[in-house]
Structure 1
Amino acid sequence: MMKFLFAAAALAATALSAPAFAQEAPKKPQLIVAISVDQFSTVLFNRYRPHFTGGLKRLADGVAFANGYQAHAATETCPGHSTILTGSHPARTGIVANAWYDRKAPREDKDVYCAEDERVPGSTSRAYTVSPYHLKVPAMGDRMKRADPAARIVAVAGKDRSAIMMGGHGPDQRWYWKSNTFVSDLVTTPAPVVAQVNGVVAQALAQPRAPLTPPAFCAGKDKPVTVGTMTVGTGRFAREAGDASAFTRSPELDGATLAMAGALFQQMQLGKGGHTDLLAVSLAATDYVGHGFGTDGMEMCLQIASLDADLAGFFSLLDKSGVDYAVVLTADHGGADAPERAREQGIADAARMAQSISPDAIGTEIGRRLGLSGDVLAGEYHVAAGVPEGRHAEVIALGKQLIAAHPQVEAVYTAAEVAAHPLPTTRPEQWTTLDKFRASFDPERSGDLLVALKRNITTIANPRPGIVATHGTIHDYDRMVPILFWRSGVAPDNRQESAMTVDILPTLASLIGLNVPQGEIDGKCLDIVPGDGTNCQ
């Protein structure tokens, strides 16, 4: 059977014993645990739900909204994480992409990373200073601290941007995986427990990893698929000693992240201070596996089985503490499979984006026709900084014409057209393409042209090791994610109605009596007490 790294949590702190939970949980939990599984689509949830036996089974047997949505068009890590604990779409959070182009930026590098503070001298989009500077709204932890300064807020993640967006502006602890270890950009650090977990992780990384033994339900996924010069679909995560890249693109990363979260939970005694605390955890391995191997091979099957087991270990640790906790689990976005495998499975129109539709290619053609030299388009279809201001309108008009004529394009809008469109108020499954773009539009950060590719077109033109599949489109395989609530004493309930990740904040706020004015957010409280509804009053 598979060996999981979550056992590292037991080495990080002494386990605490406690009596079992009562059948009826108190109205106000002592701890909120908010978990994001990066790229955990509704497709994956439904595909593997019959096989869950551990932590994912516990959550699936809670109040489960399988028809959840990251409703906006910008289905990427940073925008998606920005919605989960703010209650707001990217149009309000300001996080419209993982990175955006700012032609007015007072530095040569005009790309801006979503979780950097470019005001810091020397910060670039690739060698950046980690910061929540660009998040325009408070996250749940920020609101909790305003209401009760004694509340403790902790964020642990496999990516820095995920920790930033879920932890908000002022967490007590913020840790994320970087350069083969967990690091923090905050001054105050609990050195003993962090050093201990990092030491265990380093020891694991220094050893070779034998191939994982798949559970029986993965057998049908063991099929090789040729992607360019690579073969994916049959991997079992064996790795050489010290291979940090293979560690990161495997279930081991989630095990390490949960070990760190468990260790911080124990050291800080979260949930035991007489008020409600928040532990936000983002697990990145599903995303790395999806990008590196696709979403429907042996690799993803092993990843989901591992996630199920590791979450079981994490919840067991929480159970033993005696803390009354409530959990929500969702994802920042979904994901599409590699088009090569999709075609083998009968999706005839699955294809890779043509290089001719890229901003570089379109910009070159615009420059040729309009007599403009240098870069014309940059970033995600932004007019480049070198284009004279008086010619921007020409560039945008011709760009829209050229892009709209491409056979892989479903729709293209100018920034002015999106800005003039009202924010959608209908349920997410009813949203038009323009609605989706409007929900993730910021006039200072979004592109001058917003492009929607047709269904089953992946934005990776040329696959390479680690990047064979992706997300980021307006289509439901990228938008739909599960939203799962669990708390001891709450009856199972499979909910068929749609929900949005922006609904999570007001729902959790209702459980702990946190006042969040409706006018400050986009989401609405979900009734997660079947037959009662008192949590939303």
Structure 2
Amino acid sequence: MHLRAASRALGLVVAGSLLFACHAAPAETPAPAAAPPPPPRLIVAISVDQYAADLFAQYREHYTGGIARLLSGAVFPSAFQSHAATETCPGHSTLLTGVHPSRTGIIANNWFDPAIARGDKRIYCSEDERDPASTSREPVVSAVHLKVPTLGEYMKQADPRSRSVAVSAKDRAVMMMGGHSIDAAYWALKGQFVTLKGRTPSPAAMSANAAMAAIAARGAPAYAPPAWCAAHDRPVPAGKAGTPGSGRFALAPNDPDAFRVSPRMDAVTEDLAVRMVDENHLGRGPAPDILSVSFSATDYIGHAYGNQGMEMCIQMAELDRTIGKLFAALDARGIDYLAVLSADHGGSDLPERLDQQANPFAGRVDSALEPSPLGKAISADLGLAVDGPLLLGDGAAGDVYLSAKIPADQRPRVIEALVARLRAHPQVAAVFTRADLAALPVPTENPQDWTLAERARASFDPERTGDVLFLLKRAILAGAAPGPGYVAGHGSPWDYDRRVPLLFWRKGMSQFEQPAPVETVDIAPTLAAILGLKLPAGTFDGRCLDLDGGAGSTCR
């Protein structure tokens, strides 16, 4: 009895102690969230022209350099240039503005203004046609047509000490990524890097030009392809273009076009970018800076040879090496940088090879869909004659503009006849009038599920879009006849042209891969949040992507 009583008493003591502990001990509080890292000192925004998501997926296992480093960060393998006008200028205009071409105003590489005094009525996307010296073929380069600011401009608004530098082989890539307030802007023209009108090339640019000229003057041997390229060494005849798919980029002395259409173009762009980092002290000033680099060789090679030959395989290996050199140079300088890589659009292989490789529906567009023959057919249908061409356009797809000389009472008839003729053509997938597109709401759902009409709406600008827009069927290339330097291309509303990779990397970042679709317009809001920029709601069409990879968030 005494033992049982003692045990019972001990139990009460223990229970009481536990009860006291439950009430008296302070509740365990979660550890405070780790403070987010400070903003990077340099944003490195990389675009690879014509770098389709399909191409990225095909070669990612072989990357060991710069792209391999990006694969150790945040990987979005299915990003969308959501719009239908998948060309260089519209695509680059989305990357650092965060809005679709319907808001950037950059609806195509070229559009037409039938009322302009210029004879050809054609306006190039990155020219200032108000300058008497400018033509659409030899433009006075400007960002005057870009209707919104870029990330670099927002950074400079937050702190005027921020520096914005943009380099590329293409002026339109420089203007669309850099915007209206670029501290240093360089693109290639006739074998040299040039800059904006009224500016003198800097010592670093002149040094880069001297190095490029030396390579071009002496020539260079062919590239030795990696062993894993052997399967791509299958040349395919392509009409007047010859037989793409068998070259190694041997460079004869003083052949600027062969230099441009080779991995060497990316190599000299990277060299200039590093020189610009040093000359402008990027990443080492009192405010974050931005370096925009667009590598153009993938696009040049894709157009000239297609994207499934030996040439593209060599280019993928060299691109990886070139981006690795850029990162190594930044590492050597001790710069805290955040790199992002995406593309302005994807691309398709040449139809002749697609036909060999299980796509018998591939083909080249009927030349009857080009503006001149199309206009002559409509004139004959209606018995209508005007002075000069009835229709204006930049090829056998996209925007079509009616001549300003068509009488006002005849314009509805011309549009009706044009729409009917286009809809009856077996290669045409969809036709929209300007009024059709203006009546559509702006799409907001998942971009991979957008209809053709919604894709076209994302490229619609009421001031610049044509009277009629038509889209070709899948795998129909807009170029009617292949020629040297152009056997394949892009510019369609289909996902092989819309889907691109999107990769972010910063030292110490957690690796993750998110296969869900995102958009290129998500880049600017993502970077703006990391930089701590406070911008009004509605500034961007895209959303902030959380790059933390864990319980934290980079979007706060």
With the length of structure 2 as denominator, give the TM-score of the two structures: 0.91
Q: How does 1:377-526 map to 2 (within 5 A)?
A: 377-379=391-393, 380-526=399-545
Equivalence for 2:117: 106
Deviations 1:466-505 (A, max 9, x none): 0000100000000000010001101111111111000000
Equivalence for 1:139: 150
CA contact (8 A) 1:173 1:186 kept: no
Identify the range of structure 1 (447-456 vs 356-365) with the bigger mean alpha-carbon deviation: 356-365
Deviations 1:111-167 (A, max 9, x none): 000001111113211122111110000011111111100000000011001000000
The one-letter code sitting in structure 2 at the alignment partner of 1:446 is T
The one-letter code sitting in structure 2 at the alignment partner of 1:43 is D
- CA distance change for structure 1 residues 34 and 186 in 2, over 3 Å: closer, same or farther? farther
Which of 253, 270, 285 is equivalent to 2:265? 253
Task: Using the TM superposition, give the Cα deviation of residue 268 of structure 1 relative to its aligned residue in structure 2, in angstroms.
Answer: 1.4
- Matches of 2:514 and 2:127 in 1, distance apart? 38
Equivalence for 2:329: 317
Deviations 1:75-116 (A, max 9, x none): 000000000000010000000000101012132231000001
Equivalence for 2:19: none
SS at match of 1:116: coil
Which of 83, 86, 92 is equivalent to 1:75? 86
Equivalence for 1:148: 159
Does residue 195 in structure 1 map to residue 214 in structure 2?
A: no
Deviations 1:183-203 (A, max 9, x none): 001545562211111101000
- CA distance change for structure 1 residues 176 and 493 in 2, over 3 Å: closer, same or farther? same
The one-letter code sitting in structure 2 at the alignment partner of 1:246 is A
Deviations 1:330-387 (A, max 9, x none): 0000000000000111101010001122222221111111122241111131112322
- Matches of 1:115 and 1:280 in 2, distance apart? 16
- Matches of 2:347 and 2:249 in 1, distance apart? 21
Identify the range of structure 1 (347-356 vs 510-519) with the bigger mean alpha-carbon deviation: 510-519
- Matches of 2:535 and 2:133 in 1, distance apart? 38
Question: Runs of 5+ in structure 1 lacking a partner?
Answer: 1-23
Equivalence for 2:28: none
With the length of structure 1 as denominator, give the TM-score of the two structures: 0.94
Deviations 1:19-77 (A, max 9, x none): xxxxx993310000000000000011000000000001111221010010000000000
Q: How does 1:64-463 map to 2 (within 5 A)?
A: 64-185=75-196, 187-189=198-200, 191-229=202-240, 230-373=242-385, 374-379=388-393, 380-463=399-482
Identify the range of structure 1 (508-517 vs 384-393) with the bigger mean alpha-carbon deviation: 384-393
Identify the range of structure 1 (122-131 vs 146-155) with the bigger mean alpha-carbon deviation: 122-131
SS at match of 1:416: helix
The higher radius of gyration belongs to 2
Which of 525, 528, 533 is equivalent to 2:547? 528
- Matches of 2:476 and 2:320 in 1, distance apart? 30
Question: Runs of 5+ in structure 2 lacking a partner?
Answer: 1-34, 394-398
- Matches of 1:367 and 1:409 in 2, distance apart? 20
Identify the range of structure 1 (39-48 vs 491-500) with the bigger mean alpha-carbon deviation: 491-500
Identify the range of structure 1 (428-437 vs 371-380) with the bigger mean alpha-carbon deviation: 371-380
The one-letter code sitting in structure 1 at the alignment partner of 2:472 is L
- Matches of 2:133 and 2:285 in 1, distance apart? 41
Identify the range of structure 1 (458-467 vs 25-34) with the bigger mean alpha-carbon deviation: 25-34
- Matches of 1:409 and 1:170 in 2, distance apart? 41
- CA distance change for structure 1 residues 184 and 25 in 2, over 3 Å: closer, same or farther? farther
SS at match of 1:466: coil
- Matches of 1:189 and 1:267 in 2, distance apart? 14
CA contact (8 A) 1:352 1:458 kept: yes
* Total equivalences in the alignment: 514
SS at match of 1:381: strand
CA contact (8 A) 1:294 1:469 kept: yes
| CA RMSD, 1 decimal | 1.2
Deviations 1:188-227 (A, max 9, x none): 5562211111101000011122111000110100001000
CA contact (8 A) 1:109 1:124 kept: no
CA contact (8 A) 2:74 2:513 kept: yes
CA contact (8 A) 1:69 1:428 kept: yes
CA contact (8 A) 2:36 2:554 kept: no
Deviations 1:499-528 (A, max 9, x none): 100000000001110122231221110111
- Matches of 1:186 and 1:492 in 2, distance apart? 43
The one-letter code sitting in structure 1 at the alignment partner of 2:523 is I
The one-letter code sitting in structure 2 at the alignment partner of 1:237 is F
- Matches of 1:390 and 1:509 in 2, distance apart? 50
SS at match of 1:236: coil
